[in-house]
Structure 1
């Protein structure tokens, strides 16, 4: 397939890691159906499924974007740092799921607290490194890219970084639910609370600006002004969802029991 060949040529290590993440997604999804192990009332394998899937999307997105930049040693360092950080996180999350234990917000022992802190430190380093990549898109000449697409990449990376660090708010609170303990009723798979505020929603929306804004910049908007305006509206959306969560209000209230699953 032409798209896969192009991805492979742009950044082969991240391309391969994306395939590994996709395989991990399928494996953990399979385990979620057949393993009896639960955490907070739902399959322990839902969380690693979501993390493998988001890693797959992130790595292939960055594989594509990095192909536009000069292939300097800094790009190679970023590539292997990203792989190391995400591999560390995915392996630990999967091991804790297999044990039926929380990976995040788990300070039940000195070891669990240390590993939680290490995950936070590692992902912060990777996020800062991604900021460097975003800066390169501002300073490197990229005349072959449509201006609306280039601004979509720039602003997508910026919003990704802002809302990646929003995860630190959850870490500081040792919870993602506002107004109730983690484990309240939530939407299926996503498990976003339908009874209280949930900080993961803004985290999700903001970080996926990394895909949404470049796609809009390439396929929908033909001017930099258009993509900048829609990016500001996207920022307002993610910020509004964050404020709503901090007020303890759910994004979507309970509808029917068949549409709900126990919150992660």
Structure 2
């Protein structure tokens, strides 16, 4: 772990330190869930920002690790500041709304709430476009210090991340993530995905974490680029199935709950 952190810091110090900030935010939110009783949609209000802090920490360190392989240092620095600013906007709004006992996503109940939701959407859109550009740089450039299979893991991981990050617009258009009922109600432990209806967050989650899965598979398991490409194709089909299942109003564990 120390070796990973040392290498990460040398590759991208901006995202290294921002990742630590996010982990600190996770700890603070965890403490707040224990000492506060404010709820949003039937669960403690600080559970959601806590999950976002840890998820963004993982994303930040992942992209810090990858971008350190690129020779375009000026563009990497710009991207790093885009990540930091976009994610700070996201985290500040989510946490502030939680403290007020309000929804952050899909909340258009007042002019101010709607504008905050718009700002979050704009920030994430800019970040996702920039992440797609970083993916393009990996398709254009082959870092000398990594093998081809690992490079394809990074390329396809970023590609699937971008595709299913934009799936968030489906939820934004519907102003909810549950299909077949209002948001809220019984959910799976920790993730809180609906156990009775379709939940668009499932495909969103699995798709975006291709960013970690495919490079890890490529680095530790795959021996050829074709193995990585094949897994990416099957994984894309799997996530597409999860999306179609949710749009049909069926929960993740539909076969077990029917």
TM-score tier, shorter chain, comes to over 0.9
**Aligned Cα root-mean-square deviation (Å):** 1.3
Residue in 2 that maps onto 1:40: 41
Provide the aligned length of Structure 1 versus Structure 2.
256
- Between 135-144 and 230-239, the greater mean CA deviation after superposition: 135-144
Q: Summarize the Cα distance change of 1:12–1:254 in structure 2 as closer, same or farther, 3 Å threshold.
A: same
Once the 2 structures are TM-superposed, how far is the Cα of residue 202 of structure 1 from its aligned partner?
Answer: 0.1
Residue in 2 that maps onto 1:94: 95
User: C-alpha distance in 2, partners of 1:36/1:161?
Assistant: 36
Residue in 2 that maps onto 1:156: 157
- Between 160-169 and 140-149, the greater mean CA deviation after superposition: 140-149
The 5 Å alignment of 1:185-196 reads 185-196=186-197
Once the 2 structures are TM-superposed, how far is the Cα of residue 143 of structure 1 from its aligned partner?
Answer: 3.1
Once the 2 structures are TM-superposed, how far is the Cα of residue 71 of structure 1 from its aligned partner?
Answer: 4.0
Residue in 2 that maps onto 1:14: 15
Superimposed CA distance per residue, residues 173-217 of structure 1 (whole angstroms, 9 cap, x where no aligned partner): 000000000012101120000000000000000000000000000
User: C-alpha distance in 1, partners of 2:239/2:255?
Assistant: 21
The answer as to whether partners of 2:42 and 2:185 remain within 8 angstroms in 1 is no
- Answering whether residue 182 of structure 2 is matched by residue 181 of structure 1, we say yes
Once the 2 structures are TM-superposed, how far is the Cα of residue 254 of structure 1 from its aligned partner?
Answer: 10
Moved over 6 A (4+): none
Residue in 2 that maps onto 1:145: 146
- Answering whether residue 21 of structure 2 is matched by residue 23 of structure 1, we say no
The 5 Å alignment of 1:37-76 reads 37-76=38-77
SS in 2 for 1:186: coil
| Structure 2 unmatched ranges of 5 or more | none
SS in 2 for 1:58: helix
Superimposed CA distance per residue, residues 195-244 of structure 1 (whole angstroms, 9 cap, x where no aligned partner): 00000000000000000000000001010000000000110111000000
Residue in 2 that maps onto 1:204: 205
The 5 Å alignment of 1:244-263 reads 244-252=245-253
Once the 2 structures are TM-superposed, how far is the Cα of residue 255 of structure 1 from its aligned partner?
Answer: 7.9
Superimposed CA distance per residue, residues 109-155 of structure 1 (whole angstroms, 9 cap, x where no aligned partner): 11110110111011000000000000000111323311111000000
TM-score, structure 1 normalization:
0.94
| Structure 1 unmatched ranges of 5 or more | 257-264
User: C-alpha distance in 2, partners of 1:5/1:96?
Assistant: 35
User: C-alpha distance in 2, partners of 1:24/1:69?
Assistant: 29
SS in 2 for 1:187: coil
Once the 2 structures are TM-superposed, how far is the Cα of residue 72 of structure 1 from its aligned partner?
Answer: 2.6
